[in-house]
Amino acid sequence: MQELFIEVFGLLLSAVVLVWLFKRLGLPVILAYLVTGILAGPHGFDWLANESQMQAFAELGIVFLLFSLGLEFSLPRLVAMRNIVFGVGLLQVLITSLIFFGALWLLGLDKLSAFTVATLVALSSTAVVVKCLKESGQLRKRRGQLAIGVLLFQDLAVVPLLIAIPLLASDSSQSLVQSLAIALGKGALVCALLWAIGKWVLPRMFNEVARMRNEELFVLTTLLVTLFAGGLTHWFGLSMALGAFLAGMMLGESQYRHQLESDIRPFRDILMGLFFVTVGMQLSIDYVLSHIHLVFAVLAVMMVVKWMILAAIAQALGERKSDALSAGLMLCQMGEFGFVLVALANTHGVLGSELSSLLIALGVLSMAITPYLIDWAPTWVGRLVSAPVEQLESQLAKDEDLKEHVIVCGYGRVGQNISRFLSAEALPFIAIDLDPYLVRQGRHANYPLMFGDVTQKTILQGAGADKAQLVVITFTDLNKVKLVTSVLKEVAPSVNILARMPDDSHLDELKASGVSEVIPESLEASLMLSSHVLFMSGVPMKRIIRRVSQERENRYSLLQSFYISDEAPAHEIHSDALEYLHVMALADNAFAVGQKISELSFEARRVSVAALRRNGREIENPSQDTILMGQDVLVLRGKPRRVERCEHYLLNGGDV
């Protein structure tokens, strides 16, 4: 135990010192981890006795990385990328393998060795490329999507290679085609199983966990789901990383995406660092120094050939030249699965020690160069195609389109009022809340809601705080407001912050912490806060005064109605003094379908229709002559019991 403690302490100390040094020198952090591994490994000071256990543990870093990558995707998005995955990816693996196989065979290698080397050289590093793309913000650009699509197919291609190499190396009579068919069947089965679990089980499970409002439980559940998905695919003989990716993809469309990404990040980053340490352990400095000319000559040839092959294939399949060249630069290294295949080939006597050492050196060195290639790819490619760098950017995803927007922290009563004002003025905004029921209700009403804890930096980054013009804090917990403010000042130092407080007793303290304006009082605060938001968003003051006066004339009818969380106290839910909003969807066979609003006796039931959404378009205060249709989403306003009875009537046609 003491020996293990000393090993881990030494490894952490080396990593901390080297990461700090490399950051000070402006070098990629991945290089610091690789150097740590070189120093700690058998070819360095060799102070790690439990190297094999550490490698197995470090593989979890790739599992968590692929889970977070899956969160960036969804099934429709993956289907839309099928031409990249099964077009560019398939051709890249086949053509690269054939070219290197022919070259190696002509150089004198036997067919089995040439096949093994050619196929492992055709693979690229998912771990390095995905990490660098996320850090550089290129993951959602077209060149990033192209690289990810090819990597996904390469991860799939590893499975038949792991089956083929042992069979080809042995004298077994087992059919290669039969083995590959069995593996393909297992893959289809586990993908269907994970899809079913992700569609019907995981959303319900996370809904229940989120309702508990316990951060530790949410984190533990996230880790459990990730490891379960990875373990399931591993049990079926597939890659653990593939299972984690599928699980993340199933949750990528859920309201918990940003919170899951935030929770998994610390574990992912630490274990990814450990993974790169184990990669560095495999490099023999003595071999590189004694064969330095051979190593760097082969390295240059390999990376240039892989770059040219992928760029040519992508262009031939219709990709822009700039994106094809950029993706080729990103994927010209060897991958982490190459080390697995080298070890497997050595076990079956396919590769000699000299060739194995050369391949490991090529893998480590090419992975070390990759962060520079990804960072410099836009500039280099811009010069090659004679186009400015900004013209190489593809359209960003919807979340990244947000700029000069308002972030509403908390979607309770006040947050809902502010969201209505912003929506009425067509101002871009996003609201964040940790209550899954409120988030779901708001989304059903077509408001941009995001599930997450606003005290976490990654959640605010996901909401685009660095590009926002204003952040509104709607809750009144002083300590939490100060914590959110301090996190915001790290993410977006210049953003304006509005905060709500019951009174002005902490006004000076909050302003000193970085809050721009503090709005006291409760019901009136929501009205004043909304007017400040509109003014700071560029709306003319006359229009603001007119809207505020109109709300006062209506005796706060809209301000006094709001969505109630399913976690709200019973006395609040059943209070006869308050009206609240409730979102409901009309099924195609609902009683109210085909009838006018005037025919449904809303006034007699003392319930009103606050809004109606049809085909993605919101209709505020629909007229009495509006005919309701199937799939319409109604926002009903009224006292709780009346709204419940009205919903039952609209769906079934009978009073409760």
pLDDT tens sequence across 104-114: 999 989 888 99
**The pLDDT of residue 604 is above 70:** yes
Q: How many C-beta atoms surround the C-beta of residue 402 within 10 A? A: 18
Q: How many whole angstroms separate alpha carbon 191 and alpha carbon 96? A: 28
Cross-strand pairs, 355: none
**The pLDDT of residue 157 is above 60:** yes
Place of tokens 């899956």: 70
Residue 376 banded pLDDT, cuts 50, 70, 90: confident
Instruction: Pick 399-563's CATH classification: 3.20.20.140, 3.40.50.720, 3.40.50.1450, 3.30.930.10.
Output: 3.40.50.720
Closest CA to 336 of 594, 34, 62: 62
Q: How many C-beta atoms surround the C-beta of residue 452 within 10 A? A: 26
User: What Å distances lie between residue 412 and 11, 416, 438, 478, 640, CA to CA?
Assistant: 47, 6, 8, 17, 17
As a whole number, mean pLDDT of residues 347-359 equals: 85
Which CATH architecture does the domain made up of 31-171+275-388 adopt? Answer: Up-down Bundle (1.20)
User: What Å distances lie between residue 449 and 258, 282, 446, CA to CA?
Assistant: 11, 47, 9
CATH code 3.30.70.1450 region(s) in the chain? 579-652
Which helix (H) or strand (E) segment holds residue 345: the answer is: helix 336-347
Instruction: Identify each DSSP E strand in 398-556 by its residue range.
Output: 406-409, 429-433, 449-451, 470-473, 496-501, 517-520
Query: Model confidence over 427-466: pLDDT tens digits?
Result: 999 999 988 888 888 888 888 999 888 988 888 988 999 9
Query: Model confidence over 53-98: pLDDT tens digits?
Result: 666 677 788 788 778 878 877 677 677 778 888 899 999 999 999 9
Closest CA to 131 of 242, 268, 335: 268
Do 623 and 571 contact (CB within 8 A), yes or no?
no
In eight-state DSSP terms, residue 197 is I
**The pLDDT of residue 349 is above 80:** yes
Do 151 and 145 contact (CB within 8 A), yes or no?
no
In DSSP notation, 351-391 reads: S-HHHHHHHHHHHHHHHHHHHHHHHHHHHHHHHHTT--GGG
Which CATH architecture does the domain made up of 579-652 adopt? Answer: 2-Layer Sandwich (3.30)
Sequence-distant (≥ 6) Cβ neighbours of residue 479 within 8 angstroms: none
CATH code 3.40.50.720 region(s) in the chain? 399-563
Tokens found for residue 515? 């809050």
Residue 175 banded pLDDT, cuts 50, 70, 90: low
pTM for this model (two decimals)? 0.66
In eight-state DSSP terms, residue 637 is E
